[in-house]
Structures are given as C-alpha cells and as structure tokens.
Amino acid sequence: VTTAADVLANRAPWSCECADALEWLGALPDDSVDLLFTSPPYELARTYGIGERMVGGQAWVDWMVAVVRAAAPKVKGLIAVNCEGQTRNYSYSGVPFLLFADLHRAGFNMRKPPVFHRVGIPGSGGPDWLRNDYEPVICVTREGRLPWSDNTACGDVPKYAPGGEMSHRTGDGTRRNVFGVRTDKAIGTRTTGNKGESETYRTESLKLSRTKQSPGREGESEQYTPPVKANPGNVLYIPVGGGLMGSPHAHENEAPFPLELPTFFILSFCPPGGVVADCFGGSGTTIDAAVQNGRRGVSCDVRQSQVELAGRRMRNVTPSLFGE
C-alpha cells in the first residue's frame, strides 16, 4: 500500500489511505503540503453508513474548525474547503458561513471564498424558494502572500490586449482603456497616489512599456508583458452531472465534485511537482486532478470502500510530468 510518506519522499505520485481526516492530517509532517483541497461530508445529509461520526449544525462547524486547525501547520499554501449546508423545514443551516465566521474568530487568515457555480444541477429550491446553483469554497491561508500562485492559469485569453482596446467608460461617458488613456499608441501620465509617484504609459496595440518616476529612483523603467490569459475571477462555472465529472468512477461516491473543480485550484495554487492533499478523498477526484497536472496527490477516506474506489480510478490515470 502506498502511503503519504511515499509520495512526500517522491517515491510515488499518489496515495489514498483509510483513515480519519483528523488523525491523518495530524500524522503529516509540518509544511509538507502545498495545497489542501477538500469537500467534507455535509452535515447529516450523508451518513455513509458511519452515522455515529456524522454531526450537523454547530457541531459540524466545530469539527471542521478542528480539521482546518489540524491542517494549518501542514499546508504551506491554500486550505480550500468546498462545502454546503442543509435546508430543512424552509430553514437553511448556513454552515459554510458559520464555518467562515468561526475560523475568522479563531484567528485564521481568511481569503474571500470563491463560488463553485454548479451549472446543470436542479438544486435544492422549494415551493417558495430559488433553485440553488452554487456552493462556496471556504479559503484559509497563512498570513502574507501565498508561497506560489498562478492566478491566470485558468483564465481565458483576454478579449483585448492591454492598451489595445477601450475597456470602460468614465463618468462623462468617455471610453478609456485599462490604463486610463483613450486610444492605443497614446502616451499618458498619471499619479499613482503612492507617495507622489507618477507613472508614464506608452501603449501600443500589443505591448506596453511603463516608466516609473519615483523620488530617488529616477530613470527606473519596466517592461510590462501582458499575461497570455486573464485572471478568471472567483466564480467558477463548472458543469456537473452524468458524463461531466471527469471519471465514470466518480459516480460511485455519493457526493463527488467534478474533476474541473480541484483542477482549477491545483493549477492556480499548487506549484508543478508540488503536493496536493485531500482529507475527505472519496472517489479520488483531487489526487486524479493532481497527477494529471504534474503534481502529486495524497488523500484519505474513512471508508475502505472509497479507498478501493480511488485505487481503481487511479489505475487508469497516467501521471503527467511526474519525476521530471
């Protein structure tokens, strides 16, 4: 059986162990994981035959705070928890928001939760309420900038190159591009508001050079190269349902997420060759996304049936770039 220790020592691309999330996280070495992406069992909705372990409401929130606390020393980068509450008797438990609040109160450094827009799910509306199309992804990081990120990895090619086309209207109705000038091939100056610094822009249709004139740093200039892809924003439109989950094995778990969801977070927040963890591994979607994208994956699930399911799934996955 391959263990997380094998993966961390670069002897294997992935592992899935039968363990309780809290115990498994506790056994990982500090700073051994680049990204934790996971989706815990949602309150009492799914007992998975281990009902005594399942908790709802505030007890669920307390349990998840403990899971994040156990993960925090192990994860250098982002801890991301995709979760949802329940609606019963026309009342929503709101546990993702309670979890956000309790993590915040417990002193964790929160990031604004991205929205997983589950295109295609009829959802949990009701006779008097709206269909539910989204779930939040609660995000915690250490303080300061993330050690690694690529926030344009999953964006689309921008519609216009910077400076090439107008992007917005100002209050008087004039169209401006993102650098505040009216046309391409124009020169503009603006004060940045940063200790009296001013910046001069020269825009051409496909590239933009920027000269910074800062007190004491005269003549410094930098070339701005526009990214190939634009920042995709924090609403992730991902279709779900039969044939869209990324693997036929996913449907053997009661509540899988689509392969595209962890893929987004892995490409954006785990460096190539890095380690992605999922402490509620289910059918192995996260480790699948990790090894398909040149990362390593470690996971656990409390049910042996899910560990075997993930193993069957991973037999068909070819690691990309592993060992290079």
Ligand X SMILES: C[S@@+](CC[C@H](N)C(=O)[O-])C[C@H]1O[C@@H](n2cnc3c(N)ncnc32)[C@H](O)[C@@H]1O
Q: Which spans of this chain sit near ligand X (rule: CB under 6 A)?
A: 20-21, 39-41, 48, 53, 250, 253, 255-257, 279-280, 282-283, 285, 300-303, 306
Report the nearest approach of ligand X to the CB of residue 144 (Å): 29
Query: Hunting for tokens 């998975």 — which residue is that?
Result: 48
Distance separating alpha carbons of residues 49 and 219, to the nearest angstrom: 68
Q: For ligand X, which is the closer residue by CB, 230 or 255?
A: 255
Instruction: Give me the residue label for tokens 């991205």.
Output: 114
Cβ closest to ligand X, residue 60 vs residue 108: 60
Nearer to ligand X, 39 or 141 (CB): 39
- Is the distance from CB of 248 to CB of 273 less than 8 angstroms? no
Among the residues of the chain, which ranges form H helices?
4-8, 21-27, 57-71, 95-105, 260-269, 285-292, 304-314
When the beta carbons of 142 and 303 are compared against ligand X, the nearer one is 303
- Backbone φ, ψ for residue 309 (5° rounding): -60, -45
Minimal distance in Å, beta carbon 263 to ligand X?
Answer: 12
Number of residues that make up the chain: 324
Dihedral class, residue 216 (left if φ above 0, else alpha if ψ from -120 to 50, else beta): left
C-beta nearest to ligand X: residue: 282
Query: Cβ 191 to ligand X, closest distance in Å?
Result: 49
- Give least dist CB 308 to ligand X, A: 12
Shortest distance, position 298 Cβ to ligand X, whole Å: 13
Among candidate residues 123, 94, 149, 90, the one with its CA nearest the CA of residue 272: 149
Cα–Cα dist 186/209, whole Å: 11
The residue (of 41 and 162) whose beta carbon lies closer to ligand X is: 41
Give the nearer residue to ligand X in terms of CB position, either 23 or 222.
23
SS3 52: helix
- Least distance (Å) between residue 103 CB and ligand X: 18
Q: Which is nearer to ligand X, 20 or 102 (CB)?
A: 20
Taking CA 73 as the corner, what is the angle to CA 68 and CA 77, rounded to the nearest 5 degrees? 80
CA 296/CA 276 separation, integer angstroms:
6
Alpha carbons 125 and 90: distance in angstroms, whole number:
10
CB of 53 to ligand X, least distance (A): 5
Alpha carbon distance 56, 41 (integer Å): 10
